[in-house]
Amino acid sequence: MTEDTKKEVSRWIRETYDPAIEKRPERKGEFTTISGAAVRPLYTPLDLESSGYLESLGFPGEYPFTRGVRPTMYRGQFWTMRQYAGFGTAEESNRRYRYLLDQGQTGLSVAFDLPTQMGYDSDHPMSLGEVGRVGVAIDSLEDMETLFSAIPLEKVSTSMTINSTAATLLSLYAEVGALQGAGADKLRGTIQNDVLKEYIARGTYIYPPAPSMRLITDIFAYCSESMPLFNTISISGYHMREAGATAAQEVAFTLADGIAYVQAAVDAGMDVDRFASRLSFFFNVHNDFLEEVAKFRAARRLWAGIMRNRFRAKDPTSWMLRFHTQTAGCSLTAQQPENNVVRVALQALAAVLGGTQSLHTNSRDEALALPTEDSVRIALRTQQIIAHESGVGSTVDPLGGSYAVESMTDRIESEAGEYIRRIDGMGGAVKAIEMGFQAGEIEESAYRYQMEVEAEERIVVGVNAFTVDEKEFAGDLLKVDPEVERSQVQRLVALRTRRNQAAVDSALRALTDAARDDANLMPLIREAVRVYTTLGEISDALREVFGTHDPH
């Protein structure tokens, strides 16, 4: 930028910009993003002059991947449209998956109920009232076979949102593939397998951190040999953002967890370039449109530097941050739920402009219940309209070079980088979790945001402004039949009576013996599920050796 241009920009800001004229009567607070960062009245080349942005921007598909992980991005292939679904029994969820595939969905995403997530069978006392409620109930290989009936796993990519019991669910999936005639080396998909964020923001952990990390690295090692097309972890910031994290905190705490997983695998003797390309990430996309676009760009740039410089990865695919995005569930309102269609559309567009590889769009009624078939179709159509009608996928990184977006990208990278340095100083993500650092930072941010909403300094349409006398929601709501739990328990009891109990007992003994040693547990878990050992029995066998995590 020439000196004359700099002087002209400075003159405009000094002489023309008057803060008094921007005090919109409905806005009581300052102009800030949802994360609380100040938004300038005008962004100019001066905001980028000292940031080194031209040097760090690069080209799509090249280090540091600010502009995307592929040279052609959506000109070559659209993102995977992967609607998160699962409820009730395996039969019901199978019908929903087949419906979504018929409607043009390009990948599956499985939601499991809380007992499945926590390692309890459906007839366990802790499961009472929760079977099939927030996801599908999976107790055994029998349920998993039903879940994917008539869905050829060799042709479909499947994401499974499961963490503490990830090794068991991945083994069940591999066994279903084998029963269909698909070798494990042909199966594609992602398993979340990110237990650290459970200790920070979600709570569906079972074991203490150390054995949980062992299970994760066992999965890394097993898949690098036997399931090379499967993404072994989806390092998730989504739930932290849902709990109240800012954009920079979401990036920082997610990447800090990623550092911990990579370091654990390296410490276990694995070559970083053998597994790093199968790491994936999972982010939230919130309402603050430009900040969200910038967030994804900053995350890619940070991770590329971490992998190349900290871990000395040599393969460029090891430097790429590939991620799935889900629109913000916490932004959906029970008031005027039709407005959620607009929120989701804007969030989805931000994810696409930010360069996501995979996307789930929430449904309009999710603040009230699990989504109906009609609502899910609207959510999927939102993605399809963005892909086929908006034109935003016709050029790569269309907001690249925007003064505002580039400045926000720099800010988020700087703030997140500082958080990562603080976590490093505490001894890493696990130590910081044990100290309550991430949870404390998120709680403070969540409190600030809620106070802004209650003071009407931040407008939420239909909640603290533009309200109406509420009527009943015009659409139907999905209700899970209480009969689901009874029938699921009956099937489980029947399975136990006809399986080979001696084979089950032998498999469980072998698993507990291996857990006391340092053997990779994945082959033993696969053998256990093959003989119809239940998820709860496998989890109990590991609880016997590992114990359970007590956050207090």
Q: Give dist(CA 53, CA 57) in Å, integer.
A: 6
Q: Give dist(CA 114, CA 306) in Å, integer.
A: 34
Q: Give dist(CA 511, CA 207) in Å, integer.
A: 16
Can you give the pLDDT at residue 477?
A: 79
Can you give the pLDDT at residue 88?
A: 85
Q: Give dist(CA 237, CA 197) in Å, integer.
A: 7
Instruction: Write out the chain's pLDDT in tens, 552 residues.
Output: 677 777 777 776 667 666 555 555 555 666 789 898 888 777 777 777 655 555 556 789 999 999 999 999 999 899 999 888 888 899 999 999 999 999 999 889 999 999 999 999 999 999 999 999 989 999 999 999 999 999 999 999 999 999 999 999 999 999 999 999 999 999 999 999 999 999 998 889 999 999 999 999 999 999 999 999 999 999 999 999 999 999 999 999 999 999 999 999 999 999 999 999 999 999 999 999 999 999 999 999 999 999 999 999 999 999 999 999 999 999 999 999 999 999 999 999 999 999 999 999 999 999 998 888 999 999 999 999 999 999 999 999 999 989 999 999 999 999 999 999 999 999 999 999 999 999 999 999 999 999 999 999 999 999 999 999 877 666 677 777 788 899 999 999 999 999 999 999 999 999 999 999 999 999 999 999 999 999 999 999 999 999 999 887
Show the CA angle centred on residue 410, arms to residues 409 and 414, nearest 5°: 120
Q: 480 and 88 in contact (C-beta within 8 Å)? A: yes
Question: Rounded to whole angstroms, what are the CA distances from 195 to 48, 255, 268, 319, 433?
Answer: 38, 14, 18, 22, 11
Can you give the pLDDT at residue 23?
A: 57
Q: Which residues share a beta bridge with 112?
A: 136
Can you give the pLDDT at residue 12?
A: 66
Of 25, 108, 140, give the one whose Cα is nearest residue 376: 108
State the alpha helices, DSSP H only, in 283-338. 289-305, 316-319
pLDDT in tens, 22-42: 555 555 666 789 898 888 777
Can you give the pLDDT at residue 348?
A: 98
**Two structure tokens written together for 311:** 């871990």
Can you give the pLDDT at residue 367?
A: 94
Question: Quick one: three-class SS letters along 394-445?
Answer: HCCCCCCCCHHHHHHHHHHHHHHHHHHHHHHHCCCHHHHHHCCHHHHHHHHH
The DSSP string of 174-190 is: HHHHHHTT--GGG-EEE
The DSSP string of 483-541 is: HHHHHHHHHHHHHHHHS-HHHHHHHHHHHHHHHHTTS-SHHHHHHHHHTT--HHHHHHH
Of 546, 551, 441, 537, give the one whose Cα is nearest residue 492: 537
Can you give the pLDDT at residue 52?
A: 58
Q: Which residues share a beta bridge with 22?
A: none
Tokens 């800030």 correspond to: 32
Tokens 């399986």 correspond to: 499
**DSSP category for residue 18:** -
Can you give the pLDDT at residue 258?
A: 97
Q: What is the pTM of this model?
A: 0.89
Q: Give dist(CA 439, CA 445) in Å, integer.
A: 10
